[in-house]
A and B are shown apart, each in its own frame.
Chain A
Amino acid sequence: MGSHVDLSIRAAADALRAGTLTAAALLDAVLDQAARTEAELHSYLTIDRKGAKAAAAAADEAFSRGEDHGPLQGIPIAVKDNMVTNGVETTAGSQVLSGYLPPYDATAIAKLRSSGAVIVGKANLDEFAMGSSTENSSYGPTRNPWNTDRVPGGSSGGSAAAVAAGSALGALGSDTGGSIRQPASLCGVVGMKPTYGLVSRYGLIAFASSLDQIGPITRTVDDAVIVLETIAGHDPLDATSYRGDLPEFGAGLDRGVEGVRVGVVRELSGEGIDAEVLEEFERTLDRLRGAGAEIIDVSLPSTSYALSCYYLIAPAECSANLARFDGVRYGNRVDGSTVEEMMGRTRRSGFGPEVTRRVLLGTYALSAGYYDAFYGQAQRVRTLVSRDFATAYEQVDVLVSPTSPTTAFELGARTQDPLSMYMSDICTIPSNLSGEPSISVPVGVDGGGLPIGFQVMAPALGEATLFQVAAEIERLSVFERLPSEGVGV
């Protein structure tokens, strides 16, 4: 691996300030790494070489003038291609938007830019963030840097793969049902979904608005704090954005877990989880216990229904969110003899099978006569899931489970069986339903050398505690941060 590309954001930021590294050199190293690995990995849909070089040069100039806009200044970052970037093609992994040049930046992108970050390019994803393997991208799948026969997870598979492969030092993903945490787990990196409303969704191409949240994918917990601090905060352009003061996310990073009450979610850490994943999970619990944490068995009975609930709410919202892709104002158009025919043809040819499936499911779930039985019922279950969490947090500080029931699976293994694909998110979906923060930390590898992630969940705005526990798990784990054998390494 290249000399600089395996640095953490923190280490690179220190080197940039020490004068031992320039943003331009760091970017060159990252672009070289991408040039070596991309043909096989395909973690990026677009690499914005020109924009990135300009941003790196601007960062170096700022350093030379003594200007410091924070730790991301000069750091190469990948962003998932469902966040709009002014003048840079944004497709959300869909044919319907191929060639689309947005006229504005998403708020999270604007915040990255004003902090001096260098946006390398737009990372691959499952079309409109719908999927768990990045195989639903209509521009071809991304492969896992640890083993290129394997998927990187999804839907933020491109972001996770880029960070794992050294084609970016950090990335933004979006998480609707686990789309940051599950690929982070499968690619051996840290992935964090903030409290709903903490990061503005303005400019994030909506999948399921009440569940979507942008968050960091990084190599370390500390780096995740850095990225989150940059992108979080109230945005007057997002009515669901949190208005209060932000917690100090990194306040507990060095505090350890002495006396911390850790609840093990029974329903998410037994049946349906691979034996090797469970073994690693148990080992991590032992380490936490050894570090002074109190491990408590907790039951969240409603989480058994979380997956079904999610697969009603998310498709229902997406059926409306994706209605705007009709060929009238932007994106690809397939002509027809009437406007209805044009819209129908545009959508039929523009959307892939998984997106079509979810739009149809959602349309059905909202239809008159079915609303109460499906969408209405799902909303009630969502309330129950939130209540279960609230009850649990009366006796524990954080909840834990494996992030993904399995390690990275082979490409094609689940594409013919949507239900088995949906099961990939069984552990991550509950905190999307409750809108609470959650993080995946790599803790080990399985017999095949594939990474295993450990999930920590906390109550709303409990980011500081979440990072505190995650940082301790990171310290306690015996884990090589980057793939030792894999593509381009």
Chain B
Amino acid sequence: MTYEAVIGIETHVELKTRSKMFCGCSAEFGGEPNTHVCPVCLGLPGSLPVPNEQAIDWIIAIGLALDSTIAGHSVFHRKNYFYADMPKNYQISQFDIPICSNGRLEVEVDGEQATIGVTRVHMEEDTGKSTHMGGDGRIQSADYTLLDFNRAGVPLVEIVSEPDMRSPAQARAYVQELREIVARLGVSDAKLEEGSMRFDANISLRNEGAEELGVKVEIKNMNSFRSLERALAFEIERQQNVLDQGGQVQQETRHWDEGAGITHSMRSKEESSDYRYFTEPDLVPIEISDEWRERIRSGLPELPGQRKGRYVEMGVDPVTAATIVGGGLGDIFEAAVSGGGSARTVSNWLVGEVTAYLRREGTSVGDTPLTGGALAELARLVEDGDVSSNAAKQVLEGVLAGEGAPRDVAVARDLLAMKDTGALEAIVDEILADHPDEAARLKDGDMKVLGYLMGMVMRETGGKADPKTANEMLRTRA
């Protein structure tokens, strides 16, 4: 039987507002435990929440970036459940009237476009952090638990997708695209390792072509894009085996075990079924006027999707454009192009040598001496024939390694092109003389030997020969 996977994703994004969602405490990550706290975020008796307007501005921005409908009137609800690191034992969240609804996000996998619906984007507050001491680190076996409320009350945006994804790769592309958007908007650090972006996935299988959805399983604890993809792939295989053997998939929450590479069933929470939502009486409804919404819209930066489209129009191929935008190389690319570099040359360097260097060194482009201006200068050197395109790659490495500006690196590494045609002519003549057979074949119009001879020239000149000139000389002097 062939099955189709149906995947939906809930993403939580912590906003990087200066203060928390409902009080004035710092929302900064880190800090000694329980130092970013006050009566409100500790849920002390008598304290009351007051909403952070910056957070509302930013969730509207996220909603607009996802093509959502922004509600003119939205309401906060209380979501009731007991948990030791949730100070009020209810979370201020949203229920039936979220701020953003009916959005969408375009994703691309292997050149194939898909539109993923975004059901809703709503505002809520984060909880504190429990550290279970003793045992295997889980609450059941712990001797005691330490609570840190520094994160309690940090503004949290929940983004719920439609079950529109059909493969783990598509799911990965969706969350990566989401991260690019919130990073571009400047509203979140979106750091998976710090928990400022996290996701849960729902996945079910159905017979290919079937309309009806299968039984869904929720997967938690995926801490990277790769683990999301792996967990979904594992889960597809697991469910497929269950179905193939005539069994039924259980509706449950499963925990991804990164080390073992498997999901396993989590103890089901008895309380989880009924959150007894009701309107938060301590807050008034949020009324978002057209003016407010349009003010946010007019302040939106260019979004990753729009940026990619623009790069493609500049002559960059779509995959390269996606790599530049996704790799955080958009700004340096644009600086290089506006400094006179050709879009195609610069983009190839960025996704080639530069990306390889960054990956190897485990750094980001902002932390290297490479600038858009340097890339533009290098492009000019190549264009003017001062540096061959081969040598340019070595110059680039030198610049990245902090050896100086492109021309200085080219001089220091002796990579400037041989402009002295007399010297080049001598070398070309010598090579032709040493290889009479090849010279004869070239003379007869056999272009296949040209590459071989060019290689000889380049070796002899240490890569400094201008390829165009050398090419022409070989043909005319053979």
Residues of A at the B interface (CB closer than 8 Å) are 82-84, 90, 92, 97, 100, 102-104, 106, 201-206, 208-210, 236-240, 316-317, 319-320, 323-326, 328-330, 339-340, 343, 363, 366-368, 371, 375
Asked whether B45 lies within 8 Å of A239 as measured between CB atoms, the reply is: no
Asked whether B278 lies within 8 Å of A366 as measured between CB atoms, the reply is: yes
Asked whether B147 lies within 8 Å of A102 as measured between CB atoms, the reply is: no
Asked whether B276 lies within 8 Å of A366 as measured between CB atoms, the reply is: yes
Known: A210-B281, A238-B50, A330-B44. 8 other contacts (CB 8 A): A103-B44, A320-B78, A323-B90, A324-B43, A324-B88, A329-B43, A366-B80, A375-B278
**How far is A329 from B139 in the complex, measured between Cα atoms in Å?**
18
Asked whether A97 lies within 8 Å of B45 as measured between CB atoms, the reply is: yes
Kindly name the residue among B45, B46, B276 whose own CB sees the greatest number of chain A CB atoms within 10 A.
B45
Q: 0/1 per residue, B277-316, Cβ < 8 Å to A?
A: 1100111100000000000000000000000000000000
Q: Give chain B residues whose Cβ lies under 8 Å from the Cβ of A237.
A: 48, 50
Within the complex, what minimum Cβ distance (angstroms) separates A462 from chain B?
21
A and B contact pairs by CB, cutoff 8 A, 30 listed: A83-B46, A84-B45, A102-B39, A104-B44, A203-B46, A203-B47, A204-B46, A206-B46, A206-B282, A209-B281, A238-B50, A240-B284, A316-B278, A319-B276, A320-B80, A320-B276, A320-B278, A323-B89, A324-B89, A325-B45, A326-B82, A326-B84, A329-B44, A330-B44, A343-B84, A363-B276, A366-B277, A368-B273, A368-B276, A375-B278
**How far is A104 from B43 in the complex, measured between Cα atoms in Å?**
13
**How far is A60 from B98 in the complex, measured between Cα atoms in Å?**
55
Q: Give chain B residues whose Cβ lies under 8 Å from the Cβ of A206.
A: 46, 282
Within the complex, what minimum Cβ distance (angstroms) separates B351 from chain A?
49
Asked whether B46 lies within 8 Å of A339 as measured between CB atoms, the reply is: no
Number of A-B residue pairs, CB cutoff 8 Å, is 103
Asked whether A102 lies within 8 Å of B45 as measured between CB atoms, the reply is: yes
Within the complex, what minimum Cβ distance (angstroms) separates B276 from chain A?
4
**How far is A328 from B47 in the complex, measured between Cα atoms in Å?**
17
Name A326's contact: one of B39, B47, B89, B276 (CB within 8 Å): B89
Q: 0/1 per residue, B31-71, Cβ < 8 Å to A?
A: 00000000100111111111100000000000000000000
Knowing A320-B90, A339-B145, A367-B276 are in contact, say whether A102-B44 is a contact too (CB < 8 A). Answer: yes
**How far is A55 from B366 in the complex, measured between Cα atoms in Å?**
60
Name B283's contact: one of A97, A236, A239, A368 (CB within 8 Å): A239
B214 within 8 A of A: no
**How far is A204 from B44 in the complex, measured between Cα atoms in Å?**
11
**How far is A102 from B46 in the complex, measured between Cα atoms in Å?**
10
**How far is A206 from B147 in the complex, measured between Cα atoms in Å?**
25
Within the complex, what minimum Cβ distance (angstroms) separates A265 from chain B?
26
Asked whether B82 lies within 8 Å of A340 as measured between CB atoms, the reply is: yes
Within the complex, what minimum Cβ distance (angstroms) separates A231 from chain B?
15
Asked whether A329 lies within 8 Å of B45 as measured between CB atoms, the reply is: no
Within the complex, what minimum Cβ distance (angstroms) separates A83 from chain B?
7
**How far is A339 from B284 in the complex, measured between Cα atoms in Å?**
34
**How far is A202 from B46 in the complex, measured between Cα atoms in Å?**
6
**How far is A78 from B88 in the complex, measured between Cα atoms in Å?**
29
B274 within 8 A of A: yes
Q: Give chain B residues whose Cβ lies under 8 Å from the Cβ of A328.
A: 84, 147
Q: 0/1 per residue, B127-161, Cβ < 8 Å to A?
A: 00000000000010000010100000000000000
Within the complex, what minimum Cβ distance (angstroms) separates B249 from chain A?
24
**How far is A104 from B147 in the complex, measured between Cα atoms in Å?**
22
**How far is A100 from B276 in the complex, measured between Cα atoms in Å?**
29
**How far is A13 from B284 in the complex, measured between Cα atoms in Å?**
39
**How far is A343 from B42 in the complex, measured between Cα atoms in Å?**
17
Asked whether B274 lies within 8 Å of A367 as measured between CB atoms, the reply is: yes
Q: Give chain A residues whose Cβ lies under 8 Å from the Cβ of B72.
A: none
**How far is A210 from B75 in the complex, measured between Cα atoms in Å?**
15
B87 within 8 A of A: yes
Asked whether B46 lies within 8 Å of A84 as measured between CB atoms, the reply is: yes
Knowing A329-B87, A339-B84 are in contact, say whether A92-B276 is a contact too (CB < 8 A). Answer: no
Residues of B at the A interface (CB closer than 8 Å) are 39, 42-51, 78, 80, 82, 84, 87-90, 139, 145, 147, 273-274, 276-278, 281-284
**How far is A340 from B139 in the complex, measured between Cα atoms in Å?**
11
Using CB atoms, name the residue of chain B closest to A97.
B45
Q: Give chain A residues whose Cβ lies under 8 Å from the Cβ of B145.
A: 339
Knowing A239-B283, A326-B82, A339-B139 are in contact, say whether A106-B276 is a contact too (CB < 8 A). Answer: no
**How far is A206 from B283 in the complex, measured between Cα atoms in Å?**
14
Asked whether B50 lies within 8 Å of A90 as measured between CB atoms, the reply is: no
Asked whether A239 lies within 8 Å of B48 as measured between CB atoms, the reply is: yes
Using CB atoms, name the residue of chain B closest to A343.
B82
Within the complex, what minimum Cβ distance (angstroms) separates B155 from chain A?
15
**How far is A323 from B51 in the complex, measured between Cα atoms in Å?**
21
Asked whether B48 lies within 8 Å of A201 as measured between CB atoms, the reply is: yes
**How far is A366 from B278 in the complex, measured between Cα atoms in Å?**
7
Within the complex, what minimum Cβ distance (angstroms) separates A235 from chain B?
9
Q: Give chain A residues whose Cβ lies under 8 Å from the Cβ of B43.
A: 324, 329
**How far is A363 from B80 in the complex, measured between Cα atoms in Å?**
10
Name A323's contact: one of B46, B80, B84 (CB within 8 Å): B80
Within the complex, what minimum Cβ distance (angstroms) separates B272 from chain A?
12
**How far is A216 from B147 in the complex, measured between Cα atoms in Å?**
40
Within the complex, what minimum Cβ distance (angstroms) separates B370 from chain A?
48
Q: Give chain B residues whose Cβ lies under 8 Å from the Cβ of A106.
A: 46
Using CB atoms, name the residue of chain B closest to A340.
B82
Q: Give chain A residues whose Cβ lies under 8 Å from the Cβ of B49.
A: 239
Using CB atoms, name the residue of chain A closest to B40.
A237
Q: Give chain A residues whose Cβ lies under 8 Å from the Cβ of B284.
A: 239-240
Q: Give chain A residues whose Cβ lies under 8 Å from the Cβ of B42.
A: 329
Q: Give chain A residues whose Cβ lies under 8 Å from the Cβ of B84.
A: 326, 328, 339, 343
Within the complex, what minimum Cβ distance (angstroms) separates B87 from chain A?
7
Kindly name the residue among B80, B276, B283 whose own CB sees the greatest number of chain A CB atoms within 10 A.
B276
Q: Give chain A residues whose Cβ lies under 8 Å from the Cβ of B48.
A: 201-202, 237-239
Knowing A239-B284, A339-B84 are in contact, say whether A324-B45 is a contact too (CB < 8 A). Answer: yes
Within the complex, what minimum Cβ distance (angstroms) separates A182 from chain B?
22
Within the complex, what minimum Cβ distance (angstroms) separates B94 from chain A?
15
Asked whether B274 lies within 8 Å of A368 as measured between CB atoms, the reply is: yes
**How far is A206 from B88 in the complex, measured between Cα atoms in Å?**
12
Q: Give chain A residues whose Cβ lies under 8 Å from the Cβ of B274.
A: 367-368
**How far is A328 from B46 in the complex, measured between Cα atoms in Å?**
17
Within the complex, what minimum Cβ distance (angstroms) separates A394 from chain B?
26
Asked whether B276 lies within 8 Å of A205 as measured between CB atoms, the reply is: no
Q: Give chain A residues whose Cβ lies under 8 Å from the Cβ of B282.
A: 206, 209, 239-240
Closest 6 CB pairs of A and B: A323-B89, A210-B281, A366-B276, A209-B281, A203-B46, A205-B45
Q: Give chain B residues whose Cβ lies under 8 Å from the Cβ of A363.
A: 276
Q: Give chain A residues whose Cβ lies under 8 Å from the Cβ of B277.
A: 366
Within the complex, what minimum Cβ distance (angstroms) separates A329 from chain B?
6
Using CB atoms, name the residue of chain B closest to A109.
B46
Using CB atoms, name the residue of chain A closest to B278.
A366
**How far is A90 from B82 in the complex, measured between Cα atoms in Å?**
24
**How far is A82 from B45 in the complex, measured between Cα atoms in Å?**
9
Within the complex, what minimum Cβ distance (angstroms) separates B98 from chain A?
19
Q: Give chain A residues whose Cβ lies under 8 Å from the Cβ of B45.
A: 84, 90, 92, 97, 100, 102, 205, 324-325, 330
Q: Give chain A residues whose Cβ lies under 8 Å from the Cβ of B89.
A: 320, 323-324, 326
**How far is A124 from B453 in the complex, measured between Cα atoms in Å?**
102
Within the complex, what minimum Cβ distance (angstroms) separates B39 from chain A?
5
Kindly name the residue among B47, B147, B277 whose own CB sees the greatest number of chain A CB atoms within 10 A.
B47
Q: Give chain B residues whose Cβ lies under 8 Å from the Cβ of A329.
A: 42-44, 87, 147
Using CB atoms, name the residue of chain B closest to A368.
B274
Using CB atoms, name the residue of chain B closest to A238.
B48
Within the complex, what minimum Cβ distance (angstroms) separates A313 from chain B?
9
**How far is A204 from B47 in the complex, measured between Cα atoms in Å?**
8
Within the complex, what minimum Cβ distance (angstroms) separates A419 from chain B?
25
